[in-house]
Structure formats: structure tokens, C-alpha cells
Structure 1
């Protein structure tokens, strides 16, 4: 690989054999080198392809300021998610993850505590992502000898949630999380019982809501009505009256938040998911 740009002695941008610019990380790999020089492949410890949406200024600042060992750690964590889980990532989150880890480590060393909003909601809605956050904390302590607060698992989890969406904007993830929490509040109120967030029905419902949110982002709503909907819609409405009534409230909430009308197809899906939740609660839906 030939060097395109040097950020520091341990991090550089290089052109790989396929003609793709790749960030390379390794102790001393760029020391004494210049643009256009060949890299010693034995010194390359980690590589990743930066997002095209990341500006040159942002990339330069991050790669210059974030220690190479933290960049390598973030690269390893992302690779672990891609290889060892069923989570589908829409974009890389190495830079924002490394950026967060860097500041979290600085805060930990200076004894500064951080208070994160939506802690309860994130724990309830994204258990798999929270486990990732805990793994990241453990890896930081193992590799770098720095103990991060348990609360850091929350923003780390949200970085992983965000990487599954089509946008890299974290505000979208916060908004989506708040909406999901409101939806479960509506359902809990309708059935006068707290929802078990760990149930498989909740996991499936959240997955459905995420895809709905992504489709909304992509401008794919309202969907074209399925011609078989009227019969299915009436059958579901008749079979699950309480779930249907609750689903109408959830649809209204979603329409207000997404600023889009949802079809009766979506109301049917919402009713079925809510009916499954009700069955988990052993309630008559």
C-alpha cells in the first residue's frame, strides 16, 4: 500500500491494491515516511475504510487527535459486531465510537462523571446493544487499564443503534428511542400492566418499528395499500378488539411524530404485534 496522507506516526491514509483509500493503524508505521511512500505491511495492525459521508476536516481532526490504540480498539469492536452477531450495520461507526471512547477515557482519568438521558429506555429497548456497550467497557479496561463507569454502556449502545440506521446523525437515534418509549407507555396504559421488555414479542415489535422508522427516513411511506388488506384488516380488527383500539393510538402517535400518514396495512401489523404482547401478559386482547 502507498501512503496518501499521514495523520501521525501511527495512523495514515493509504491506497490499497483495489484502489480504495483505507485508514491504516500500527505502531510507528508512518514514522519517517512521506506521502507516496510504500508502507511496511508487517506494521499494519488494523485497517478500515472511512465513510464517504465523513468530511475531510472531520476525518483529519479525529485521526490526528484520537490515540491509535483507541482507534484500533474501536475497529476491533466494530469487526466483532459484524462477524459475531446478527446485527446489520448500515454504516461504520468506528470514528464516532473511537471519539466517544477517547473522551470517556479522558473523563475517567480526570474523575469526571457523566449523566446520560434515556438510560432506562435504552436498557429496556436495546438489550443486545447494551451488552455491546458493556463489552466495550471491559475491553477498555483489559487493553488500556482504564475503568469506565458502567453508565458509559448507554451512549456506546446508542452508537451501535445509530449505525443500524441509514443516517449517521445521532439525534435521529435519540428521537427514535423516545418515540419507542412513548409507544410502550401507550400500550402499558391500555392494558394497565407494565410490558416485559425482555420478551421475544417486544424484540420483534421493536425490530418492526425500526424498519418502519428507516422506511420513513427514506421517504417510502405511505406504502401502497395491499388489495387483500380489507379482508385481513377486518379479521384482525374483529379478532383483537382491544389490541386494535390500542394500535389506533399508536398509529396516531407515529403519524404525529413522523409527520406521515400510515396505511391500514401498518395498522394491521401494529395490531398483531400488540396482540402478541397482550398474549405475553396473559391478558384477553
Structure 2
């Protein structure tokens, strides 16, 4: 493979036989090398493919001040995450996670510990991502000898959640988490009940809310393909769940300026009915 750009003595950008942009890493891989030179394949220790245009420039800038060790750790974490998650992760995660790890480890060495205010919510609502992040702490410790705490696992999990959003705005992942938490609280207070977090219906509802929030962050418009007759049927059949949906709609309008569609109302109402119905039936049977 031919070198396109030397990032440092150990990291280069190049292209494979499919013309895909690749980051190649290896000790001394680029020593006394320049763009246009052929790589010694025997020195390559790690490669990963970049699908998104412009990421290589951001990695190059990042590596001016950051050790490629953190890029290597990020790559291992993301390789593992891709085997565990059902969705595609954005290439920007290589940059965001590398930068985060460098900063987190630097803080740790200085004895500075930052608490993640969303630790409880992340552990609860993003169970798969949080478990991946806990395993990531093991990888980090193996490579650096430093054990980061669960607050950092929560931050890594948020990066994975944010990796679905195709961008570098961590605030979006935090906002989605807060939105999900607020909507679940509206449901709990409306029905005056705790939800069964072990149930399949709860997992389905949680998944729906997460993607619901992502659609808002991506500014995706619902096609509103639900006809008025069906909307009215759902409204009357699940009247209490629909009243709860209206409270959620008011919250979304007030907090985000988001006017949800009739289609979104229907899906929310059906999910709310499913997640609360078994509990309500049990109450009546008592």
C-alpha cells in the first residue's frame, strides 16, 4: 500500500486495493517515510478503515498532541462494540473516543475525578452500551495500567450512543438521555405506578423512545401516514394511554418546540398501553 499522509512515526494514512481510506499503525512504520512511499507490510500492527470523508484530517490533528496509544485503544473498543451493537457506529467515534480517553487518563494522573451526572440513567437506559463500556475499562487498564471508574464507563457509553447520531455533538446524546428519562417519568406519574423494567414491553418502549429522540436530533420529519380514522380508534381504545401521550406531546412542545405527528402519537400510545397494561390488570385482579 502507498502512503497518502504521514501522521507520525508510527501512523500513516493509505488506501487499500478497494480504494478505501485506511489508518495503518505500527512501531516505526513511517520513520523516514513520506507520502508516495510504499509501506513495509511486515511493520503494520493494526489497520482500520474510514468510511466517512474528512475523518483522517481530524485524526491527524488529534495525533499532533495525543499518543497513538489512545487511538489504538479506541480502535479496539470500537471493534468490540461493533460486534455487540445492532446499529452502525459513525467513524467520528475514532476521534471523539481517542480525545476523551487521552483527557480522562490525563485527569486521572492528576488526581482529578469528575462525576457523571447521568451515570444512573445511562446504566439503566443504555444497558448494552454501558456493559461494553465496562469491558472497555478492562481494555484501558490492560494497555495503560490505569483503572478508570464507572463514571468514565458512563461517558464511554454516551459516546457509543452518540455514535448513532453521525456527528461529534455529545450534547445530543445527553439531551436524548434526559428526554427519555423525562418521558418515562411522565408515564410513571400519570399512571401512579413503577414500570416493570424486566419486561419485554419495557425494553421495546425504551428502544422506541431512544430512536424517537434520535429522530428529533436528526431533524427527521415523520411522514404521518396514519389516517384520521385509525388515529381516532387508538385514541378511544387506549384513552388513558392517549391522555398520557398528550402530556408527553405538551412536554416536547414546551421544552423542544417539537410538535409530534399523529403517527408518533399512535406509536407512543400503543407502547404506553403495552408497558402499563399488565400492571393495571394485576391491580384490578387484587
TM-score (norm 1): 0.89
Shift of 1:280: 4.9
Match of 2:240 among 242, 266, 281: 242
Shift of 1:35: 2.0
In 2, Cα distance between the equivalents of 1:278 and 1:121? 20
Of residues 209-218 and 9-18 in structure 1, the stretch that sits farther from structure 2 once superposed is 209-218
In 2, Cα distance between the equivalents of 1:39 and 1:19? 15
In 2, Cα distance between the equivalents of 1:225 and 1:263? 10
Distance 1:281 1:63, change over 3 A: farther
Shift of 1:199: 3.6
Contact 2:96/2:168, CA 8 A, preserved across alignment: no
In 2, Cα distance between the equivalents of 1:142 and 1:154? 19
1:148-168, Cα deviation, whole Å (9 max, x unpaired): 122111100000000012333
In 2, Cα distance between the equivalents of 1:92 and 1:178? 23
Contact 2:55/2:92, CA 8 A, preserved across alignment: no
In 2, Cα distance between the equivalents of 1:193 and 1:224? 31
In 2, Cα distance between the equivalents of 1:65 and 1:280? 55
Secondary structure at the residue paired with 1:23?
strand
1:141-152 → structure 2 map (5 Å cutoff): 141-152=141-152
Distance 1:4 1:83, change over 3 A: same
**What's 2:173 paired with?**
173
**What's 2:44 paired with?**
44
Secondary structure at the residue paired with 2:35?
coil
**What's 1:264 paired with?**
262
Shift of 1:274: 0.7
Of residues 192-201 and 37-46 in structure 1, the stretch that sits farther from structure 2 once superposed is 192-201
Distance 1:55 1:270, change over 3 A: same
- Cα RMSD of the aligned pairs, angstroms, is 2.3
Secondary structure at the residue paired with 1:12?
strand
Secondary structure at the residue paired with 1:65?
coil
In the comparison of the two structures, how many residue pairs are matched? 282
In 1, Cα distance between the equivalents of 2:39 and 2:248? 56
In 1, Cα distance between the equivalents of 2:225 and 2:174? 30
Match of 1:275 among 252, 263, 273: 273
Contact 2:172/2:217, CA 8 A, preserved across alignment: no
1:20-73, Cα deviation, whole Å (9 max, x unpaired): 3321111221122222211111222222244425483x3322123332222112
Secondary structure at the residue paired with 1:281?
helix
Distance 1:225 1:157, change over 3 A: same
Contact 1:24/1:48, CA 8 A, preserved across alignment: yes
**What's 2:189 paired with?**
189
Secondary structure at the residue paired with 1:114?
coil
Instruction: Say yes or no: does 1:11 pair with 2:30.
Output: no
In 1, Cα distance between the equivalents of 2:170 and 2:207? 18
Distance 1:276 1:257, change over 3 A: same
Shift of 1:218: 4.2
TM-score (norm 2): 0.88
**What's 1:233 paired with?**
231
Contact 1:77/1:136, CA 8 A, preserved across alignment: yes
Q: Gaps (5+ residues) in structure 1?
A: none
